[in-house]
Amino acid sequence: MSFHTPTLAAALALTITVFAPFTPAQQTTKDGVRMENAVNRPDRPYRPAGSSDPRDAGPHVARGFGKVQRRLVYVALPGGSAGGQFSSEQNGVGIVVLDADRNFEFVKRIPTWNVPASMSPEEVSGIAASPTTNMIYLATRGRLAAFDLASDKKVWEQTYDGTCCERPEVTPDGKTLVVGSDLKDFWYIINAQDGALKGKIQAPKSNFAHNMALSADGNTVFMAPNGVTMTVGDVPSMKATKTITFSDHVRPFVINHDATRVYANLNNLLGFEIADVKTGQVIKRVEAPAEMWKPQWADVKQRFFGHGCPSHGIALTPDESELWVVDNINYGVLVYDNTGEWPTLKMTFPTTASADWITMGLNGQYAFLSSADVVDVKTKKIVGQMKDEYGKPMHSEKLLEMSFANGKLVRTVSQFGEGIPSAVQTRLSARQK
């Protein structure tokens, strides 16, 4: 007996088609969580998943090379020790970069000069930067150098005639540096792009060149000696135009937004004198209350840090509403209201150490003190400290806050706390409304 077995092809032909009802696709979030679970409830807390890719943090983050916009503080080291409270060498040599948006945390150290251990490093005597050249400039009492802010590499270095350098400032167009000589009686005029010497402004009545200020338009330079007579010069013509004589040796000073007034710290004064630039005369002497300093300063047995004078540090807020003055008798800062005819003392606040310099940051948000303190200008509270990679406070007088976009410098400040025309105009316009 034989049996018939269907072929495989026939079996496959006997298929049954089954129609299933339509089922929509499961709804999920973009990272795969079912929508019914992507709800924050007390019994099941929820928040969207984090990412390990920093590029997911938003449009302010660049693709591949970090943040598009960064606010950084560049601190030059060693940057000031004449106050005597701290060693100028305790933080080493270089430029330490801090992140202003992240509680001033350490970012990196940029090498500047190699110094053998058997020698003391050159102290940085001035700092400036330019968005036009994308360079930062460091002066020491021996040389001037420019560093590219895109690569952190040195672009050029000059010693000139061997009597360089003090306190550089760069003109707004980024073409010219004005730089003091090393305690001589002239100031250099230098090509900011390549370091070539253009000429000098001779200031025979202002020997021992030290501090300076440059007007907002870059045309007028104020050249102060370690002496009583300041020389005012014209940058384009490289000629001295007038002098201003103060009652004692000039220490740090600042000018207002239109370069019509000079506010100067002096030896033997907790306060400042004000000079009218047009007349070349001192028009006001502003002293702190006598009980705050005169008995102490008169007692020669007492020692105070701060470059051998009661005030070594002065700055205007960008809108000139306030004038800040270092108090090296009581180790703090005096804040003067500057909205009236004359500045009037309105408050003081303490610093964590002797402060010998004040640099106002971008938009006048922070003040950076050489006591290493970062101060909120509005509240007068210390909100941070500038520290190196080892956590040690940096007591440098030479620093700048700078803003970058896509690795390019777009804004910076002056090492001197000068009034800014646009900020002053904004304040005055608001008052008139």
67-432 maps to which CATH number? 2.130.10.10
> Mean pLDDT throughout 382-409?
96
Q: Which residues contact 361 (CB under 8 A, 6 or more apart)?
A: 73, 100, 367, 368, 401, 413
Q: Where exactly are the structural domains of the chain?
A: 67-432
What's the CA gap between 166 and 144, in Å, rounded?
9
- For residue 290, the tally of other CB atoms under 10 A from its CB is 9
pLDDT exceeds cutoff 50 at 3: no
% of the chain exceeding 90 in pLDDT: 77
3-class DSSP state for residue 345?
A: strand
C-alpha 371/C-alpha 374 separation (Å) is: 9
Classify burial at 412, counting beta carbons within 10 Å of its beta carbon; exposed 0-12, middle 13-18, buried 19 or more.
buried
For 309, counting Cβ atoms within 10 Å of its Cβ (0-12 exposed, 13-18 middle, 19+ buried), the class is buried
Confidence of residue 288 (pLDDT cuts 50, 70, 90): very high
Task: Report whether pLDDT(13) > 50.
Answer: no
141 contacts: CB under 8 Å, gap ≥ 6? 122, 123, 125, 164, 165, 166, 182, 183
Tokens of 332: 């703090």
What's the pLDDT band for 1 if we cut at 50, 70, 90? very low
Could you report the per-residue pLDDT of 85-144, keeping only the tens digit for each? 887 788 999 999 999 999 999 999 999 999 898 988 899 999 999 999 999 999 999 999
pLDDT above 80 (res 433): no
Distance of CA 99 to the CA centre of its chain: 11
Comparing 386 with 32, the larger pLDDT belongs to 386
> Would you state the pLDDT for residue 36?
85
Q: What is the mean pLDDT of residues 320-332?
A: 97
pLDDT of 222 above 80: yes
Would strands 250-255 and 261-266 be described as parallel, antiparallel, or unpaired? antiparallel
Going by the DSSP 8-state scheme, the letter that residue 50 receives in this structure is P
Give the residue-averaged pLDDT of 212-233. Answer: 97
What pLDDT digit, counting tens, does each position of 126-138 carry? 999 999 999 999 9
Residue 370 confidence (pLDDT) above 50: yes
Nearest to 106 by CA among 391, 397, 367, 379: 391
What does the mean pLDDT of the chain come to? 91
pLDDT of residue 15: 47
Are 196 and 173 a contacting pair, CB within 8 Å? no
